[in-house]
Structure 1
């Protein structure tokens, strides 16, 4: 039995390129064949073993990289302050921790991730029934742009660092490629979250646009009604004493020729113009008195509002019938609630990866600027942060790292605002309709929307909004100043100790020389005394 044809295309159809790249590098463990033929994310045991094997290889290669490039790190504690050594030691493994968090989280949530996109497909079908059309083609374009930018940043940082700051004459220098693996895998994982979040925002905005269309349609309908009412009132209020000047004169009717003669005594033939080519074209002058001596109004033709009959036609607004629009508003609010629940589920699936990314971004941004300061002071820095020796490479690293964090925060904030804006659009429907029954419906549904707002957070520690971004920026500045102050204090203390040791050495040499002089003087006195003493 054949399956029914879906009403809408699944969202995962736009994730083809992203899924294949993620599958190769070990970001997702889902089955490849099921995704290729059914556009579904399903569990795969082989994919799970492949992902664990890839993770193990990455961990081994990363530790080999640290060991191969750790010659500078072994002398770092002796040559620099303990603070720089501890920061470098901790941050050396922060990238590996972030990568492992992304892969293990994807491994544990592989079943829930497939259910999440299936719920999005069901939501799209419900929106389609309510005439809310979505264009998912922009999602595929967005994925391509993000993939291209990821490759550009990763390759730029890797190649620039390898050429300028790595001794590429040794074959072990090829292990430097492994240094780009954690950030690349993390970026691919966050592209999944960012694009899915953008898809939810588009669905919120589609609901809001539908409600706004209802408001605009009803406003046009009310304008059309008021225009007809004004036309009717104008026609009804016209006086008989002053006919409108723009009305055309009455046309002459030849069948009423005898009546014109009887009432006005006018020779119609003279008005016609005998032998004229324009017969029956000139209308007679209407008499102002009837047969009873009363004035009669001059007949006139009402002026048309518009010559195009289609302009005066207007479809009835849905908001004009509360019982008819109640079902549609209720369905839209139910879909809104379902999208909010999907957003909460999505936030739960990516809570730990987002927390690790934000921690990584905060620490790396602060450390990269701190190591840049150390490099300008000709101080040694950890081997994996040698990109800080070059300001141009440092700028690329900071833009790449901060760009991921800022974009996720901004997109989460915009999605949350789009979900809360639905209540405003719903109340506009009640205001423009000005109907008591519709007011009750809107108030009831708005309470449901108020209780189903969605906010995104990193494991509940902080909310992903612009206020958090402002706080993180201030924290980076504060900690950077503190680190630089500690570094200055450590360098001053080290210089003081070196000066004191140098002074002690100098004093020791001086004391030794003085002692030798004293000993020479004593020996000279003894010899002199011996030679000068008389002998018996």
Structure 2
């Protein structure tokens, strides 16, 4: 027994083998504190004191460099409140640090969950072994390809935004402009962390779909078995065939022969004499197809085969309720375990997901608002100078929204795949049409109903397409409100400037009038003095 388990464990490919490149990059930038040597040798995630120290040092260094960046490029921000509305100043001040908050959330959460995440992937490995026992083999190579594609897209987007902003909107003739590279660190670290979550979530989705495919295969096999039985009964009811004459075919059954193998009705004459008594009396089906109507190897001649081999039928598992009960129980237990893994995974990444969704909502709204301000020749915060260029704005918004939308979509599809298992299970009961199997299916479907999995951001909202629709509407509403406030502020500022200019003009007119009155009084006094006769 132990030898069989060891052979099964050797046949199952660990999921973490596909995370080699992602782990090394994450380790270098300081996202994961796990031990590097143990991962390289045994593909496991275990705690490491040196990894914790290195991760904390990188976090402190990133925070210091980010603040130096803000101070170096903050000359425009110091005059922003005086030149523009208070609303623009407050938005810029708050959003300046939201990227740093998002990065700190990712790193501190990974530091807190460094032991639990290793247990998570170990549970996935046990699930793969149990699926292998049920003849459900998974191909993890798609995980590796997906990771490489995500890493490539991340590097392309980060370099495009960074270099385009640096060349077009930053004065790169000064040596302090090199600090602009620090602005890409928070988003890059956040993207790497979310790749871990997205790929792990996709792995769970694949395992749900593997269970569903196994159940669907049971249904398809039983349907083929019933089709074979129906054809066998019809053949038994037909009159015996005369071996000296070519077989006669009913026109009503012609579609069946075409469906089973595309047989040419006029070309089959020989070999019909091999039809014996009992089952499989229709010669073309017995000699040109297997028991389920699938084409057989034409090299196997009828004279070289055992006559009993053509009458053997692989019994459908759904035809024996007692035999299939254990298989269905095992699949449902594995399904429950995958649901529990999904809940644990959602708990581990709940705070990073919430911070990402908040960051995406605020940045998307603010970037469009600052783009509007730039079109009106208004000053914007220095770290959001990418909004001055529409092309860079489109790239940045596509990058940010792509991460949020993909996680929401993948969470929604994984939840649907987990709930679809109950439908596939009921198909087994319907196609088998057996009372005992009906009772088994009803019992297991209740268990599946109580173990569905949904993904949320700390319980504030569920990650599904309905939430995506609500977020899109919220961005549009807040953007309109911000633009209206900006228009009102600009109109108020213009009114104040107009009133001030009117006051200045009135003051000048009053001063001129006083000077004229003073001149007139002096002239009258001089005139009166000169015209007055002396004694």
Tell me the TM-score normalised to structure 2 length: 0.87
Aligned position for 2:410 = 411
1:170 aligned to which of 159, 162, 174:
174
Distance in structure 2 (CA, Å) of the matches to 1:127 and 1:376: 58
1:56 aligned to which of 60, 65, 68:
60
Q: Structure 2: where are the runs of 5+ without partners? A: 248-280, 292-311
State whether structure 2 residue 183 is matched by structure 1 residue 183: no
1:303 to partner: Cα distance: 6.1
1:217 aligned to which of 210, 221, 232:
221
State whether structure 2 residue 77 is matched by structure 1 residue 78: no
Q: Alignment RMSD, CA only? A: 1.7
Aligned position for 2:295 = none
Aligned position for 2:277 = none
Aligned positions of 1:249-268 closer than 5 A: none
Distance in structure 2 (CA, Å) of the matches to 1:244 and 1:206: 48
Distance in structure 1 (CA, Å) of the matches to 2:444 and 2:355: 38
Aligned position for 1:460 = 459
1:305 to partner: Cα distance: 4.0
Distance in structure 2 (CA, Å) of the matches to 1:113 and 1:38: 15
Contact 2:419 2:452 in 1 (8 A): yes
Distance in structure 2 (CA, Å) of the matches to 1:305 and 1:415: 45
Aligned position for 1:37 = 41
Q: More deviation in 50-59 or 307-316?
A: 307-316
Q: Secondary structure at the match of 1:20?
A: helix
State whether structure 2 residue 15 is matched by structure 1 residue 11: yes
1:235 to partner: Cα distance: 2.4
Contact 2:34 2:45 in 1 (8 A): yes
Aligned positions of 1:352-371 closer than 5 A: 352-371=351-370
Distance in structure 1 (CA, Å) of the matches to 2:246 and 2:158: 79
Structure 1 residues 497, 247: closer, same or farther in 2, change over 3 A? Answer: closer
State whether structure 2 residue 516 is matched by structure 1 residue 517: yes
1:265-294 Cα shifts (integer Å, max 9, x gaps): xxxxxxxxxxxxxxxxxxxxxxxxxxxxxx
Aligned positions of 1:18-417 closer than 5 A: 18-235=22-239, 246=245, 304-306=283-285, 308=287, 310-312=289-291, 313-417=312-416
1:187 to partner: Cα distance: 0.1
Q: Secondary structure at the match of 1:181?
A: helix
Contact 1:30 1:42 in 2 (8 A): yes
1:172 to partner: Cα distance: 0.6
Aligned position for 2:434 = 435
1:314 to partner: Cα distance: 3.2
Structure 1 residues 91, 303: closer, same or farther in 2, change over 3 A? Answer: closer
1:248-279 Cα shifts (integer Å, max 9, x gaps): 9xxxxxxxxxxxxxxxxxxxxxxxxxxxxxxx
Distance in structure 1 (CA, Å) of the matches to 2:363 and 2:533: 88
1:9 to partner: Cα distance: 1.4
Distance in structure 2 (CA, Å) of the matches to 1:154 and 1:110: 27
Distance in structure 2 (CA, Å) of the matches to 1:382 and 1:57: 24
Contact 1:77 1:85 in 2 (8 A): yes
Contact 1:247 1:303 in 2 (8 A): no
Distance in structure 2 (CA, Å) of the matches to 1:70 and 1:247: 95
Contact 2:235 2:282 in 1 (8 A): no
Structure with bigger gyration radius: 1
1:307-345 Cα shifts (integer Å, max 9, x gaps): 626524531100000000000000000000000000000
Aligned position for 1:280 = none
Distance in structure 1 (CA, Å) of the matches to 2:29 and 2:459: 30
Distance in structure 2 (CA, Å) of the matches to 1:451 and 1:532: 117
Distance in structure 2 (CA, Å) of the matches to 1:56 and 1:399: 30
Contact 1:31 1:41 in 2 (8 A): yes
Q: Structure 1: where are the runs of 5+ without partners? A: 249-301
Aligned position for 1:291 = none
1:18-53 Cα shifts (integer Å, max 9, x gaps): 000000000100000000000000000000000000
Distance in structure 1 (CA, Å) of the matches to 2:460 and 2:521: 80
Distance in structure 2 (CA, Å) of the matches to 1:23 and 1:330: 41
Contact 1:48 1:107 in 2 (8 A): yes
